[in-house]
Structure 1
Amino acid sequence: MTDLPPIIGIAGGIGSGKSTIAKCFNDIGIQSVDADDVARLVVEPGTDCLRKIHQRHGNDILLQDGTLNRRALRDIIFNDPKERVWLEALTHPAIRAAIKTQLNAITSKYGLLVHPLLFETKQETLCQLVVAIDVPTSTQLNRVMNRDHITQESAQKIIATQLSNKERIKRAQLVLENSGNIDEMNAKVFKLHQKILETLSL
């Protein structure tokens, strides 16, 4: 275990640009594990999680091809807090186990754990440092509404279940402001990469 590279958490709420930022790091040779991707894996057809979700909510929760109807599930959990608690109790342990497996396969100087709920799920404990993404809430709302084709009210409900940007920044060791174009972001990421190498003496 001691030979594994350090892990840096990238903490940002929905619509904060985590995937874009992770790709900037990937482009300079830093590998990443994205909790959103892992969350999709643990509910694929044939998984224990999907079987239990299907048992609880019936056929309406499945699309015609047998995959999870994510929009239907999202509507359920954001309109009934008890269902959200149930779902998290089911999926979070499976997500955490899969994340650990993927992190253990990282071979770059350090790895990234990209996670919308890093602090909420206490997975900052897997990280040597945490970078919080600083982005205006209005930007998050617009991105989520456009990307997921949902109403402002629905987007606000999702954001309300996550830590505020202010709280995330308070808990993190480093901050990355997500504004400007992709060239500016590449420059910011490279500067942050140098800071991480220096901080961890890599």
Structure 2
Amino acid sequence: MSTLIIGLTGGIGSGKTTVTDCFKQLGIDIIDADIIAREVVAINSPALKAIAKHFGDDYILADGQLNRVLLRSRIFAHEADKHWLNNLLHPLIHDELARQTAQASSAYCILVAPLLIENNLLVLVDRVLVIDVSEATQIARTIQRDNTSLAQVEAILASQITRTERLAVADDIINNDNISLAAVEDLVLLLDKKYLTLTKVV
């Protein structure tokens, strides 16, 4: 069982996946909030049925999966619907994150959550690692990666807490602005040593 839980977070396009993959290569267990968020609305799940009942059958695709595009556009435009959806999903995600972190077997584990702070998940972690980049980098990377518009990226940024607010709760920071993968790997190795020391393993 992991004796230390690291909450890894960062804004969209900050490079969370790159850093997470580096930790994974070191044999560290990764618990991903985005994966769990998809699992709780899997085909025929109680949560998916509740969404269909609340929003209508249009929100379920022909193959039985959630119509994420339609739901995303709906909750961005209607605050009350966003609140309802959060009340449905957040407790389910929270419980599954807690279950998986309790089952982690590496000396420490990484809980990856883009909305770690916004969704009140700090209670699940011992330390916070923020992957930090400038807003200009976030915008450029996300437009290139997701083939999306500037307006859509700016809407996502507006829905997340600010860079300053995120950094204010950080115990550790990786500045991932214009550095090579090798440099990221080196920073992860330094943090790995630090975290292992904190777990009293070395």
The TM-score, its normalising length taken from structure 1, stands at 0.93
Shift of 1:200: 4.4
3-state DSSP of counterpart to 1:32: strand
Instruction: Report the count of equivalent residues.
Output: 200
- Any residues of structure 2 matched to 1:78-97 within 5 Å, and which? 78-97=76-95
Q: Could you give the per-residue CA deviations for residues 138-188 of structure 1, whole angstroms, max 9, x where no partner exists? A: 222223333333221111111111111211111111111113121111111
Indicate conservation of the 8 Å contact 1:133/1:169, yes or no: no
2:51 aligned partner, one-letter code? I
Partner residue, 1:182: 181
Partner residue, 2:20: 22
**CA distance, structure 2, for counterparts of residue 130 and residue 13 of structure 1:** 14
**CA distance, structure 1, for counterparts of residue 38 and residue 106 of structure 2:** 24
Partner residue, 2:145: 147
Partner residue, 1:156: 154
Identity percentage of aligned residues: 36
Indicate conservation of the 8 Å contact 1:5/1:107, yes or no: no
Partner residue, 1:165: 163
Q: CA RMSD in A?
A: 1.5
Partner residue, 1:195: 194
Structure 1 stretch 146-155 or stretch 122-131: which is displaced more? 146-155
Indicate conservation of the 8 Å contact 2:116/2:122, yes or no: yes
- Cα 1:196/1:4, change in 2 over 3 Å: closer
The TM-score, its normalising length taken from structure 2, stands at 0.93
Structure 1: gaps of 5 or more residues: none
2:64 aligned partner, one-letter code? G
- Is 1:129 the counterpart of 2:127? The answer is yes
**CA distance, structure 2, for counterparts of residue 129 and residue 200 of structure 1:** 12
- Any residues of structure 2 matched to 1:106-117 within 5 Å, and which? 106-117=104-115
